[in-house]
Amino acid sequence: MNVERVCIVGLGLMGGSLALALRPSLTHLAIVDNNPKTLPAAHELADLATADLAEGVKDVDLVILATPVRAILKLLAQLPAIRPDGCLVMDLGSTKAEICRAMAQLPPVFAAIGGHPMCGKEMAGFANAEPGLFAGETFVLCENGRTAPRIKTAAHEIIRQIGANPLELPPQTHDEMVAAISHLPYLVSAALMQTAAAQGSDRLWQVSASGFRDTTRLAGSDPQMLLDILLTNRTAVIDQIDKLQGQIIKIKQLLLWGSDAELGDWLAETWRQHKNYQNVKRKI
């Protein structure tokens, strides 16, 4: 790769997987992480592992921010003071509008682009990281006021290196989309988990099978990560909750007053939409 000196800030699932995937192509990898349980693994993987952001970003070409969203916003605010000469900046945050606005406020010596790999696991942390996590997955890129050609080139090189598929979207469009296909599913899964748990009987879990297991999988996601996501994409998430409530009310009305045929039509239309979703995903 043209960019060979990289600092990854945050060695969790996403940052750790990226570090593992990029390590063979880099002449220098620095990792910044303040988790004492993670630093030993970081020392084994990187040329430099530190809890000091200033030390980690010194003399690298590209800084990749792979922390929770609100931490990314704080890190972006610190960069001008510790890298006054500027550098390339990219992030892996799950929401993009606030991050891209913060990137646009960086001094002109910086070149920055928002990034979001559309993959992951409900289990967080470096222990669950794997170099093949991004292979074949969509990697969204969001331009902002500091997106220069050199950072776009670097981002596309990284995406090619890890085997992902780039997709460029405006930040607000990205946030509206992920509210529907990522953030709302988490809330539905969490609400189902809470609804079932309210029965207060451990025998319920003995009765549960694969349907409940699969539908509540996302409820096991890292709560701190989801808190950041929801608070930085509040408007789009609320809009999707309103739309979901409309569907729930419609189902309730069909159960109360609808005919067998009307309820059957609703279920059949849902089945058709799911088939279309599967067909489109298979072609990607």
Contact 140, 96 (CB under 8 A): yes
Helix (H) or strand (E) holding 206: helix 203-207
At residue 281, the pLDDT reads: 84
134: tokens are 């991004």
62: tokens are 């590209």
Cβ neighbours of 152 (radius 10 Å): 16
Residues of the chain with CATH 1.10.3660.10: 173-283
Per the listing, tokens 């990281």 go with: 129
At residue 225, the pLDDT reads: 87
At residue 105, the pLDDT reads: 97
- Mean pLDDT score, 253-281: 95
Per-residue pLDDT band for 270 (boundaries 50, 70, 90) equals very high
N residues, the chain: 284
- Mean pLDDT score, 228-234: 95
Contact 91, 66 (CB under 8 A): yes
| Domain boundaries 173-283, CATH class | mainly alpha
- Mean pLDDT score, 87-109: 97
Strands (E), the chain: 5-9, 28-32, 48-50, 62-65, 88-91, 111-117, 138-142, 165-168
Beta bridge partners of 4: none
Residue 5 has pLDDT above 90, yes or no: yes
Q: Classify burial at 170, counting beta carbons within 10 Å of its beta carbon; exposed 0-12, middle 13-18, buried 19 or more.
A: middle
At residue 204, the pLDDT reads: 94
At residue 1, the pLDDT reads: 61
Cβ neighbours of 135 (radius 10 Å): 13
Per-residue pLDDT band for 7 (boundaries 50, 70, 90) equals very high
Per-residue pLDDT band for 2 (boundaries 50, 70, 90) equals confident
Residue 125 has pLDDT above 90, yes or no: no
Cβ neighbours of 245 (radius 10 Å): 10
Contact 133, 110 (CB under 8 A): no
- Mean pLDDT score, 246-257: 96
Q: Does the domain at residues 5-169 carry the CATH identifier 3.40.50.720?
A: yes
157: tokens are 């090189």
Residue 3 has pLDDT above 90, yes or no: no
Strands 138-142 and 111-117, sheet pairing = antiparallel
Residues of the chain with CATH 3.40.50.720: 5-169
**Which pTM value belongs to this model?**
0.92
- Mean pLDDT score, 262-280: 95
At residue 160, the pLDDT reads: 96
Share of the chain above pLDDT 90, in %: 86
- Mean pLDDT score, 34-39: 88
Per-residue pLDDT band for 123 (boundaries 50, 70, 90) equals confident
Residue 170 has pLDDT above 90, yes or no: yes
Give the separation between CA 84 and CA 150, rounded to whole angstroms: 18
Residue 223 has pLDDT above 70, yes or no: yes
Give the separation between CA 104 and CA 194, rounded to whole angstroms: 40
